[in-house]
Structure 1
């Protein structure tokens, strides 16, 4: 899970954004947005489950992976503007959306502020508020003094259940290297966007068909936080994946892929 292979970059809102396509050129686009301290390779176990039908567009958000690092702090609104700007730059009018953690926070903004661009929203392991503020300040101080290496073990313990960490050392090592490849300034700038986020009321504006997916044992974006999204997004569907923590797409890829694919197909078949 190093940087995405075969990726290209394009300028969006003053930053170079790295992206890659998989799947048929005439398929409807599925825009996939990654978590904090992750790049587009986070979706390696998921893309094949969608790319037979959909043109999967992965990208590295500003400050991460192969994309440019501009001065922070960023906001979720700014990162959502980047996602919409990427669609503009690539000539894509409308897309299905799949985002996890901060990716799902970006998706909430897209659904509320760019409704004409979205066929469906899959908001995975995410939340609309992320207290407390001091938790983020502690993490930023570790990043400044110890680098990303100071955060990697705690992050992996939040992202996956203990049994998965034990049974899947190769996947864990790929994730570890992906985290370690994150730029400190990019992490702090994007982490600040999560710290400062307050968008529960924005959820009331979302009208696109929406799937809310949570991991039963996710300590970062809990089932309770997912339930808030589900209650405030009109007509949304909620699924809880058992035996999964925060990166449910990696810990339970078969269940994740099946759940999201069935949802997106159900929407796409009506278009």
Structure 2
């Protein structure tokens, strides 16, 4: 396992970690306000059997530079950071796996830098497109009419985050994971408490950042670019997903088009509890194993 800081912009450096086999690189892109340690070790180790797995801390998370208040940036800069991480680690092409906001960032890289992407896996996210969803009955549903975020999630996100100390912050984060889990699988509070305690120790503070929620999210639509994408893409469908519930995965697959596959992980919500880690690793490895490299390449 190798840890390294990568400078992605003047005065901005990101913490990265690499582990695993000498196979094709696989870059894990986490969601908003989430450290790279949000990718569970068991999942990372399963993927590392076949890949050089890279996870990293976004700006304003984990051990990476905290600078939003002094130098605000748009969400699109976080996608550029993902490419800069590959550059800094000397990786020409990689399989990308993105969750939540990380799934949007992966779409941006797929659209803007397809030559850097061996394959893409999108989890718990929505399409960066204004193309209507074609329902099974032939109805075309405008993007704005697709199911929205669950009220319980919106209510929690609307609460002000107050600093009540370490244990109170752990309580808040565990409750957040309970809500995001979606309720179909048993919820293991101790698992998520241990995960968040480790992330806090890694970060060095229990203070919660709001940088990504405040970042400019304009200029993210990539309708034409995604429709023309030729990179093998897998979309994970989570039946208990409370943020981007079905049919968002099917819509995403329609937007990206030919060759995009959808795989459902039973009971999954907007979280990565132990019960979904094995099936998710199997789905990702099956996808990366069958994906064909960009023109001029070979099957990895």
TM-score normalised according to structure 1 size: 0.83
Output the CA distance in 2 between the equivalents of 1:114 and 1:137. 36
Secondary structure, counterpart of 1:187 in structure 2: coil
Are 2:126 and 1:127 aligned? yes
The aligned residue for residue 47 of structure 1 is 44
The aligned residue for residue 156 of structure 1 is 177
Q: 7-16 or 213-222, which moves further after superposition?
A: 7-16
Secondary structure, counterpart of 1:142 in structure 2: coil
Question: Compared with structure 1, are the counterparts of its residues 55 and 231 closer, same or farther at alpha carbon in structure 2 (3 Å cutoff)?
Answer: same
After TM superposition, give the deviation of residue 225 of structure 1 in Å: 1.9
The aligned residue for residue 221 of structure 2 is 199
Output the CA distance in 2 between the equivalents of 1:49 and 1:68. 29
The aligned residue for residue 54 of structure 2 is 57
Q: 175-184 or 70-79, which moves further after superposition?
A: 175-184
In the TM superposition, 1:254-265 aligns within 5 A as 254-265=278-289
The aligned residue for residue 172 of structure 1 is 192
Matched pairs, number: 263
In the TM superposition, 1:16-95 aligns within 5 A as 16-24=13-21, 26-43=22-39, 44-71=41-68, 73-95=72-94
Output the CA distance in 1 between the equivalents of 2:216 and 2:236. 19
Q: 54-63 or 191-200, which moves further after superposition?
A: 191-200
Are 2:226 and 1:208 aligned? no
Output the CA distance in 1 between the equivalents of 2:275 and 2:216. 23
Output the CA distance in 1 between the equivalents of 2:160 and 2:55. 29
CA contact under 8 A between 1:160 and 1:246: conserved in structure 2? yes
The aligned residue for residue 242 of structure 1 is 266
CA contact under 8 A between 2:177 and 2:271: conserved in structure 1? no
Which protein is richer in helix relative to its size? Answer: 1
Structure 1 residues 212-251: Cα deviation after superposition (integer angstroms, max 9, x where no partner): 1021101012122222211100221111211111114644
When Rg is computed on C-alpha atoms for both structures, the one with the higher figure is 2
Question: Compared with structure 1, are the counterparts of its residues 233 and 250 closer, same or farther at alpha carbon in structure 2 (3 Å cutoff)?
Answer: farther
The aligned residue for residue 112 of structure 1 is 111
Question: Compared with structure 1, are the counterparts of its residues 42 and 161 closer, same or farther at alpha carbon in structure 2 (3 Å cutoff)?
Answer: same
Question: Compared with structure 1, are the counterparts of its residues 197 and 226 closer, same or farther at alpha carbon in structure 2 (3 Å cutoff)?
Answer: farther
CA contact under 8 A between 2:241 and 2:270: conserved in structure 1? yes
CA contact under 8 A between 2:4 and 2:15: conserved in structure 1? yes
After TM superposition, give the deviation of residue 169 of structure 1 in Å: 3.5
CA contact under 8 A between 1:165 and 1:172: conserved in structure 2? no
Secondary structure, counterpart of 2:237 in structure 1: strand
The aligned residue for residue 138 of structure 2 is none
The two structures, once aligned, show a CA RMSD in angstroms of: 3.2
Are 2:3 and 1:7 aligned? yes
Tell me, which stretches of 5 or more residues in structure 1 are unaligned? none
After TM superposition, give the deviation of residue 146 of structure 1 in Å: 6.8
